[in-house]
Chains A and B, each alone.
Chain A
Amino acid sequence: MLQSILFLLLLVAAFGFFAWQVRKIRANILVGRDRDMSGHAAERFQKTLLVAFGQQKMFKRLTPALLHLVVYVGFLVINIEVLEIVVDGLFGTHRFLSFLGPVYSLLMATNEVLGALVIIAVAAFWWRRNRKPPVKRFTGVELRAWPRLDANIILYVEVILMVALFTMNTSDLKLHQLRGETLPGAFPISSLLTGLLPANAGALHLLERFGWWAHITGILLFLNYLPSSKHFHIILAFPNVWYSRLVPQGQFSNVESITHEVKAMMDPSFVVPPAPTAPDGSALAPTPFGAKDVEDLPWTNLLNAYSCTECGRCTSVCPANLTGKLLSPRKIIMDTRDRMEEKYNSPVIFRPNVYGAEAKHEPITDLANATLLRGKVTPEELWACTTCNACVESCPVNINPLESIIEMRRFLVLEESAAPNSLNVMFSNIENNGAPWAFSPSDRFNWADDLFAAEKPAKAAVA
Chain B
Amino acid sequence: MADLAARNESPEILFWVGCAGAFDDRYKRVTRAFVRILEHVGTKYAVLGLEESCTGDPAKRAGNEFLFQMQAMTNITTLNGYGIKKIVTACPHCFNTIKNEYPALGGDYEVIHHSTYLQQLINEGKVGVTGGESFKGRRITFHDSCYLGRANNIYEAPRDVLAALDADLVEMKRSRANGLCCGAGGAQMWKEPEPGKKDINIERTEEALATLSGAAEALANLGGVETETSAPGPHDLQGSIIAVSCPFCMTMMSDGVKNKEQESRVQVFDLAELVASAEGINA
A343 interfacial contact with B, CB 8 Å: no
Q: Enumerate chain A interface residues (CB-CB to B < 8 A).
A: 60, 136, 247-252, 254-255, 258-259, 261-263, 265-266, 289-290, 317, 319-320, 322-327, 380, 383-390, 392-393, 406, 408-414, 419-420, 422-423, 425-427, 430-431, 434-437, 439, 441-448, 451, 456, 459, 461-463
Task: Compute how far the CA of A409 lies from the CA of B62 in the bound complex, rounded to whole angstroms.
Answer: 6
Among candidates A263, A383, A431, residue contacting B194 with C-beta atoms closer than 8 Å:
A383
Nearest Cβ on chain A to B242's Cβ, whole angstroms: 17
Taking a contact as CB atoms under 8 Å apart, the answer to whether B193 and A436 are in contact is no
- Residue of A262, A419, A422, A444 near B73 (CB, 8 A) is A262
Say yes or no: A386-B146 contact (C-beta < 8 A), given A248-B153, A419-B64, A447-B32.
yes
Note all chain B residues with C-beta closer than 8 A to A385: 186
Q: Identify 30 residue pairs between A and B in the complex whose beta-carbon atoms are under 8 Å apart, listed by A's number.
A: A248-B96, A258-B69, A259-B69, A263-B73, A265-B70, A266-B73, A319-B181, A323-B197, A323-B198, A325-B196, A384-B194, A386-B183, A388-B186, A389-B151, A390-B178, A392-B150, A393-B177, A406-B61, A413-B63, A419-B63, A423-B191, A426-B58, A434-B53, A435-B23, A441-B53, A443-B22, A444-B22, A444-B49, A462-B4, A463-B3
The A interface is mostly helix, strand or loop, or mixed, namely: helix
- Judging by beta carbons under 8 Å apart, are B59 and A386 in contact? no
Distance in angstroms from B150 CB to nearest chain A CB is 4
Within the assembled complex, what's the spacing in Å between the Cα atoms of A457 and B223? 50
Stretch at the interface among B100-108, B230-238, B260-268: B100-108
Instruction: Please measure, in the bound complex, the distance between the C-alpha atom of A251 and the C-alpha atom of B57, giving whole angstroms.
Output: 11
Cα distance, A250 to B196, chains bound together (Å): 26
Q: How far is the CB of A140 from chain B (nearest CB, A)?
A: 13
- Identify which of B69, B96, B190, B225 contacts A324 (C-beta below 8 A): B225
CB–CB B199/A323 < 8 A: yes
B150 cross-chain contacts in A, Cβ below 8 A? 249-250, 388-390, 392-393
**Cβ-based interface call for B21 (8 A):** yes
Which residues of B (180-207) have their CB < 8 Å from a CB of A? 180-181, 183-200, 203-204
For the complex, what is the distance from the CA of A258 to the CA of B61, rounded to whole Å?
Answer: 15
Among the interface residues A290, A384, A386, A443, which one has the most CB atoms of the partner chain B within 10 A?
Answer: A386
User: Is the pair A324, B198 in contact by a Cβ cutoff of 8 Å?
Assistant: yes
When distances are taken between beta carbons in the complex, the residues of chain A under 8 Å from B65 are 255, 258, 289-290, 410, 414
Nearest opposing residue in chain B for A444, CB measure: B22
Complex Cα distance A434/B23, Å?
11
Known pairs A250-B150, A386-B185, A437-B19. 8 more at Cβ < 8 A?
A261-B66, A319-B183, A319-B203, A320-B200, A322-B180, A390-B146, A427-B67, A459-B39
